[in-house]
Amino acid sequence: MKITIIGGSGFVGTHLIEHFQKLNLYELLNIDKNPSEHFPSITKIGNVMELELLSQQLKGTDVVVLLAAEHRDDVSPVSLYYDINVKGMENTLAAMELNGIKRLLFVSSVAIYGLDKDNPNENSAVDPFNHYGISKWKAELLLQDWYTKHADWNINIVRPSVIFGEGNRGNVYNLFHQIASGKFMMIGKGTNKKSMAYIGNVVAFLAFLIREQSEGYQVYNYVDKPDFNTNDLVALTGKTLNKHIPTVHIPYWLGMLGGYGFDVLAFLSRKKLSISSVRVKKFCAVTIYDSSKMMQSSFVPPFSLEEGLRRMLEKEFLNHG
């Protein structure tokens, strides 16, 4: 069986290809607009915005894994979210149909639910708060409509919470880096819980779906449980790194005021800054998601959440890569 990963040169794709290669069961192809640092021999330069080229590159594929997405908080212009995440989905489906490919695994996001929701499951109301979440939901709507007209297809959608792990330089890494450096300031009380997903478990679940869920249309949240709050993460960081972590708490309103100040500074300087009102809001929000459907399947995560967090801390801050 040939699996083509679209957008596999990034963090998730690199770990997924590594996982597949260890299984040694599939022929693999990576299509990405960027070269793959780790897997250049199986990578072709392509783009979900180029339908003709994508159609040519998908020839002979049995399963498509769609990872390509605009996902940063500060993408400009915002139309890029819809170009890549929505139009890219349209082109992927069209290219698959041209090649007779009927199996798609799409990595969406819990961002479609919005912030401060009450533990939403796969059937909960959708209320995205930013362009990334809106565009991911619009891509899912395309898949829903597609399946009504292509009932013989197999479509699996995974909505992971924030993904972390070795080699990632996203929000979780930035948080750990601030904590470990001793320059961390807690905005709010730190009791807000955060659903997270360890990369080793996420890629194992994606491989599980390809192997075990070969028919029908399914949607899964992916979260590693139990959820940690920010105070838990600070304590775990200190324990793992054997460091005393002093924590200064500042009120939420003051943190948001500072975030707005950085928004103005970013606008005036035309530079992307690491602090913004959106990031402060996301940091302080309760982001808990229900993963009962995933846990009731026969999938067993290879790592506990704490083990995943420790593995990342040790790799990035003790062994320094």
- Indicate the number of domains in the chain: 1
Residue 122 lies in a domain: yes
Residue closest to 175 by CA, chosen among 167, 183, 310: 183
> DSSP state, 154?
E
Decide: 318 and 241 in contact? Cβ < 8 Å. Answer: yes
pLDDT confidence band for 317 (50 / 70 / 90) = confident
Q: State residue 189's pLDDT score.
A: 86
| Spatial CB neighbours of 295, under 8 Å, sequence gap ≥ 6 | 225
Q: State residue 53's pLDDT score.
A: 97
Residue 234 lies in a domain: no
132 in catalytic set: yes
Residue 265 lies in a domain: no
| Spatial CB neighbours of 317, under 8 Å, sequence gap ≥ 6 | 176, 177, 180, 241
Residue closest to 262 by CA, chosen among 272, 248, 251, 250: 272
Q: Identify the domain containing residue 22 by its residue range.
A: 2-164+196-223+290-296
- Least trusted range by pLDDT, from 28-32, 81-85, 113-117, 246-250: 246-250
Q: Distance between CA 15 and CA 106 in Å, rounded?
A: 16
Q: Whole-model pTM?
A: 0.89
Residue 81 lies in a domain: yes
Q: Which two tokens mark 211?
A: 């192997």
Question: Is the sign of the CA dihedral 1, 104, 292, 115 positive or negative?
Answer: positive
Taking only the tens place, the pLDDT of each residue in 266-283 is: 888 888 777 788 878 877
**For residues 82 and 66, which has the higher predicted lDDT (pLDDT)?**
66
- Least trusted range by pLDDT, from 32-36, 217-221, 244-248, 251-255: 244-248
Q: Is the pLDDT of residue 127 over 60?
A: yes
Taking only the tens place, the pLDDT of each residue in 8-60 is: 999 999 999 999 999 999 999 999 999 999 999 999 999 999 999 999 999 99
Q: Which one of 132, 173, 217, 289 is the catalytic residue?
A: 132
Taking only the tens place, the pLDDT of each residue in 133-168 is: 999 999 999 999 999 999 999 999 999 999 999 988
Residue 316 lies in a domain: no
Q: State residue 28's pLDDT score.
A: 98
Residue 99 lies in a domain: yes
Average pLDDT over residues 62-73: 85
Q: Is the pLDDT of residue 124 over 90?
A: yes
* Helix, strand or coil, per DSSP, at residue 1: coil
Decide: 159 and 109 in contact? Cβ < 8 Å. Answer: yes
Q: Distance between CA 293 and CA 128 in Å, rounded?
A: 21
How many Cβ atoms from other residues are within 10 Å of residue 259's Cβ? Answer: 20
CATH of the domain at 110: 3.40.50.720
In 207-267, DSSP assigns E strands to: 217-222, 224-229, 248-250
**For residues 181 and 6, which has the higher predicted lDDT (pLDDT)?**
6
Q: Distance between CA 50 and CA 46 in Å, rounded?
A: 7
Q: Is the pLDDT of residue 71 over 70?
A: no
Residue closest to 67 by CA, chosen among 13, 111, 17: 13
Residue 107 lies in a domain: yes
Radius of gyration of the chain (CA): 20
Q: Is the pLDDT of residue 321 over 60?
A: no
How many Cβ atoms from other residues are within 10 Å of residue 252's Cβ? Answer: 16
Decide: 67 and 25 in contact? Cβ < 8 Å. Answer: no
Share of the chain above pLDDT 70, in %: 97
CA distances from 292 to 40, 44, 122, 166, 221 (A): 37, 37, 9, 26, 8
Average pLDDT, the chain: 91
Q: Distance between CA 179 and CA 191 in Å, rounded?
A: 16
Q: Is the pLDDT of residue 193 over 70?
A: yes
For the chain, the distance separating the N- and C-terminal CA atoms, rounded to the nearest angstrom, is: 34
Residue 233 lies in a domain: no
Strand partners, 44: 31
